Structure 1
């Protein structure tokens, strides 16, 4: 692996760091991939200082120049697709095809935000003072810090760093300790594209040494997190001391409503691959399926049959359709949810444990459960794993009420042929994103984010760059 080749990235240079190291493992085998440097508090403070120095000049770089650099970064990323997919598969366990798709979504972010850099519009408001004029300007927030999760290790960085750089901010990236290699590769693409020293910095390491210096720093003006709701709540509290702006993409527990007029086969063809992509470790994945009672039994049988037919294996095997969970903690968590389902009288149609004959890595069989009450953990909680809980409903009103009975509000989905019902589902489902007959939410041109306990702020779309901009009013009088 490339941990020795790269390391920490501070002030435009790769360095080994002065702290300890982080062991990184292949979740499909449990074998050690290598050791990545762990930043010390001093390393993190140097990264902050580097970003602060770079901001004084980067903020004044013309938008068209920033855009050209981001386009060049996308070009470099495209050229390094095979390398990136290989690294990502080894670190996360996801199948190679899914890794390539994620890398593609990542460079899409740089393409889109490059163009958004050229479209940071102000406005002029007529003043009530004679001869006066009010100008509204947008200026970069300053130094930002991006905290990212392991499940989409390239895409999550791109969704934060691309709009920040487009806006004229400088960045410190702190990736999950499970997946340092792919973050190193992405940052090296920015270096190769010619990004000035200090504009982006990378620190890997423990929470103890990387978190507190960033949160305590008055230089860091904004933080963006993709992670759990509990971590997000703590970061919001910690950010209050220095009045940092925050963007939070937190947990989900997405419902899927399958109405009685849905095309059963087409719905299953979409739902099953999406549910088990990345072994279910996706914040917007469908967790709980509310299926009209007329379709419920056929839907459950079809879902279980398709799930049981999925081929599990190492992601580098191009025939594998689902890889492992990221670590033993996730296996333990999923086993706990299944145990609760059994205790609540659930019917496990397929899966429910480790695959037979799979003695290495952190694999868990695709699992389909029916017959659960709504307060069972498989329905009431985000399982973040390969569990699909299927339950019937009778009326549309019941379906909407049960779907919305959660503190989470990231994504929700509905399948129907009726245009009126499509509109009603879009309006009534309480989530930041709603898919109607589609799961395609994570696109560069679309604003991604949730409501309620699922977070605040948006990433992507024309809205994404505004989370990295301050609004300034200038009153002009003659």
Structure 2
């Protein structure tokens, strides 16, 4: 399962890590635990791959990505089945994720030929321009909650703009990422351009980042891991893109009528509990204006109570969710009890009447926990919404344009949904502020993330 220099191979010392099905807790496979020798090999492969790929015409890079995207669509059902088995989300969600990954490949195929620089005004007899050059070999670390789309969001721009990449997927769900790498290999990406490593995360990250071969680091993961990688990058001052935790606020305003509140509740419950709440942009703190608070709470409880959720990713996540709820000092309106039997399941849990210092309001839940609280004025709602150090996503539901504009201006987050909960797309920049990280992936902003600007000034012969 290690993919180094265009070839699949086991770990050099034969060590492996078990992969569990989170719905049954059964071992469904194993993944290599890369050795130091394997990591040295992948660094050498990435350096060689970059030397070739950076000189490859953008049109050829685009063709490879386009072919890989079409291969993903052809293989979508099989990849989705693997994704569901190792990560746990419903098959319908897995299939949508694989198709979104194909969209990243095809969208960045178009961007590969649009990595424009610019001409600069100069004095007579001189010329000056800025060109975009690939940043270099990339070390990419991805989380387990979206094992197809998170790797795709890093693979696609790296390949498009001439970088080589060492992809390090989460060991909980690595086979999905391997399917993406295989699609790129089958599409004709040269050896060493795309590589895949699995193993003990702290050891792998320290080994890769300590090497001067790696020019860029991109992480989708937790805040503590992001802080660790920032420290590791200090020696060689690598470029960093960090998409870390989120604790997304939602503002529900009192200008909505009962039908509109019902539709908002539908959207909120759907967004909150997909993938069992294991989504970094998941709504996780809901502030409801006082006049409609009780009505909206009942609407949410009614919709959440009947949901059957997919499992959490592992026992650690289930225990963390259970601990947050037990310490919340809240009124548990539905859920809150871990079911018996195999699998890391936890029911949708709606909380009200929380004390302002509750850990649920401070710490990212990353699970099926939905707290609802009242607010009075717009200013009060924004103060509560911005009261945490995270700033990834935020949502608001209102029919009043003036309120919407003021709330959008006042939310300190990187992405905002107005009467909408679907934020991620290939064409849109994804990222946050504060402890949610910095830098953007997706959209034309990826050009800045995966290239460097080189300024050139010329004049005639000396």
Q: How many residues align?
A: 456
SS at match of 1:417: coil
Deviation at 1:132, TM superposition (A): 1.2
- Of 185, 208, 214, the residue aligned with 1:214 is 208
Q: Distance in 2 between matches of 1:169 and 1:372?
A: 48
Which of the residues 79, 83, 95 maps onto 2:78?
A: 83
Equivalent residue for 1:104?
A: 99
Q: Distance in 2 between matches of 1:75 and 1:243?
A: 37
2:292 maps to which residue?
295
Find the aligned partners of 2:49 and 2:442 in 1 and give their Cα distance: 24
CA deviation profile, 1:275-329 (whole Å, cap 9, x unmatched): 0000000000000100011111111111111111112xxxxxxxxxx20111111
User: Which residue is 1:168 aligned to?
Assistant: 162
| Residue 312 (structure 2) pairs with residue 330 (structure 1) | no
Q: What secondary structure sits across from 1:241 in the alignment?
A: coil
| Alpha-carbon distance, 1:207 to partner | 2.3
1:208 Cα shift? 4.5
Residue aligning to 1:387: 369
Structure-2 separation of matches of 1:306 and 1:469: 46
Deviations 1:121-149 (A, max 9, x none): 1111112x431121111100110010000
Q: TM-score, normalised by structure 1?
A: 0.94
Distance 1:426 1:63 in 2: 38
> Deviation digits for residues 103-162 of structure 1, max 9, x if unmatched?
1111111111111111111111112x4311211111001100100000001111010110
The 3-state SS of whatever aligns with 1:364 is coil
Residue 420 of structure 2 corresponds to residue 433 of structure 1? no
Q: Could you say which residue in structure 2 is the equivalent of 1:18?
A: 12
Which residue number in structure 2 is paired with residue 151 of structure 1?
Answer: 145
Task: Provide, for residues 36-86 of structure 1, a one-character-per-residue CA deviation record: whole Å limited to 9, x for no partner.
Answer: 111111101111101111111110111111101100000100011011110
1:197-346 → structure 2 map (5 Å cutoff): 197-262=191-256, 263-311=260-308, 322-341=309-328, 344=329, 346=330
SS at match of 2:428: coil
CA contact under 8 A between 1:374 and 1:380: conserved in structure 2?
no
Q: CA deviation at 1:373?
A: 2.2
The answer to whether the Cα contact below 8 Å between 2:255 and 2:399 also exists between their aligned partners in 1 is: yes
Contact 1:368/1:390 (CA < 8 Å) preserved in 2?
yes
Q: Check conservation: 2:168, 2:196, Cα contact below 8 A.
A: yes
Q: Which moved more, 1:246-255 or 1:55-64?
A: 55-64
Change (3 A) 1:295 1:354: same
Q: Any unmatched runs of 5+ in structure 1?
A: 1-6, 312-321
Distance 1:465 1:185 in 2: 25
Given that 2:139 and 2:209 are in contact with CA atoms closer than 8 Å, whether structure 1 keeps it comes out as: no
Distance 1:461 1:424 in 2: 26
- Tell me if structure 2 keeps the 8 A contact 1:39–1:209: no
Q: After TM superposition, which residue ranges in structure 1, 4 or more long, deviate above 2 angstroms?
A: none
* Map of 1:375 onto structure 2: 357
Q: Which of 350, 372, 376 in structure 1 is aligned with 2:334?
A: 350
Q: What is the RMSD computed on CA atoms of the aligned residues?
A: 1.0
Distance in 1 separating the partners of 2:22 and 2:93: 16
The equivalent of 1:422 in structure 2 is 404
Normalising to structure 2: TM-score of the pair?
A: 0.97
Aligned equivalents of 1:81 and 1:447: distance in 2?
25
Secondary structure at the aligned position of 1:388 is classed as: strand
Determine if contact 2:181/2:196 at 8 Å carries over to the other structure. Answer: yes
Match of 1:114 among 109, 117, 125: 109
Change (3 A) 1:113 1:401: same
SS at 2:310's partner residue?
coil
SS for the counterpart of 2:215 is strand
Distance in 2 separating the partners of 1:273 and 1:84: 24
Match of 1:30 among 22, 25, 34: 25
Separation of aligned partners in 1, 2:112 and 2:251: 38
Could you say which residue in structure 2 is the equivalent of 1:195?
189
8 Å contact 1:28–1:93 — kept in the other structure? yes
Mapped to 1, the partners of 2:161 and 2:229 lie a distance apart of 23
Match 2:67 to one of 55, 68, 72: 72
2:450 is aligned with 1:468: yes
Task: Pick the aligned partner of 1:136 from 130, 133, 137.
Answer: 130
Given candidates 440, 450, 455, the residue that maps to 1:458 is 440
Q: Secondary structure at the match of 1:363?
A: coil
* Partner SS for 1:325: coil
User: In 2, Cα distance between the equivalents of 1:449 and 1:209?
Assistant: 26
Post-superposition offset of 1:427 = 1.0
Question: Alignment partner of 1:476: what SS?
Answer: strand
Per-residue CA deviations over 1:205-258 (Å, capped at 9, x if unaligned) read 112541222011001000000001111011111101011000000000000000
In structure 1, what is the Cα distance between the partners aligned to 2:447 and 2:312?
33
Structure 2: gaps of 5 or more residues? none
Counterpart contact for 2:246–2:393, Cα < 8 Å: yes
1:33-72 paired onto structure 2 within 5 Å: 33-72=28-67
